[in-house]
Amino acid sequence: MEVEAGEARERTTEFLTGYVEDVGVDGVVLGLSGGIDSATAAAVAVDALGSDSVYGLVLPVGSSDTENMRDAREHAEQLDIEFDTLDISGVVEEAVDLTGVTDREAVGNLKARVRMCVNYLYANERSRLVLGTGNRSEILLGYFTKYGDGGVDVSPLGGLYKTEVRELAREIDVPEKLVTKTPTAGLWEGQTDEDELGAPYDVVDVVLEEAVDRGNTVEEAADAAGCTVDVAENLLALVKRSEHKRRTPPYPDFGRS
């Protein structure tokens, strides 16, 4: 069942306020990419905690789109939050030179992990939590870097599908150009979510909700989403293959509680 925007705003802000109070920290730090998810997470955090308790990091690297970086800074200014822009290209290039690894996906994941390290460096120094920006669609599909953008302390958008995040964004006054921007992880030039997933989120979310949340067959999910069975099967295969990303590292059981 789709979560309405008003309910999403109320529950995400209440959740984040309560969690930060329970942990006893001074606020949150998050990476700002210029995309809808980080923009919405930042807006939710300001709504819940106030602008003084939210700190943003714009972390461009070689493949980063300059327009996205500009949008990230402009939105941070609109939210009146403190932020810094740090180019991490040198750190990534140093690691590539050191190892000789040039595989595009491996280097893309490295970029996300360097960003995670910088986020935590600032969060630790300021006694804050690292705020996740991932949504339910990405989490179920494993469409995130393990110990990269998946390395966070709290994820206020984690229970909302991407299409629900869009409506929450509008509810919480995220600029429309960010809401309608083509989603991308920004880890290499030309990367888009739709190209990698094989379907737009309007299709992806229906398949996931039908098959994962409601337990319907892949054929029923495909019919509800208006896509082929092959597309639905590929999406659900991603869910299965990425299960390890949603679990803590396994260890042998010695019968201890």
Marked catalytic residue, from 37, 167, 205, 210: 37
149 catalytic residue (yes or no):
no
2 catalytic residue (yes or no):
no
Dihedral, CA of residue 58, residue 91, residue 183 and residue 225, to nearest 10: -130
**Distance between CA atoms of residues 169 and 40, nearest Å:** 5
Nearest Cα to Cα of residue 131 among 60, 40, 7, 61: 40
Which residue type is seen at 23?
A: V
Alpha carbon 63 to its chain centroid, in Å, reads 18
The 8-class DSSP code of residue 139 comes to: H
Answer for the pair 151, 130: CB distance below 8 angstroms, yes or no: yes
**Distance between CA atoms of residues 100 and 160, nearest Å:** 39
**Distance between CA atoms of residues 175 and 40, nearest Å:** 10
Marked catalytic residue, from 47, 65, 138, 205: 138
Q: Which residues contact 224 (CB under 8 A, 6 or more apart)?
A: 206, 207, 210, 216
Tell me the catalytic residues.
37, 138
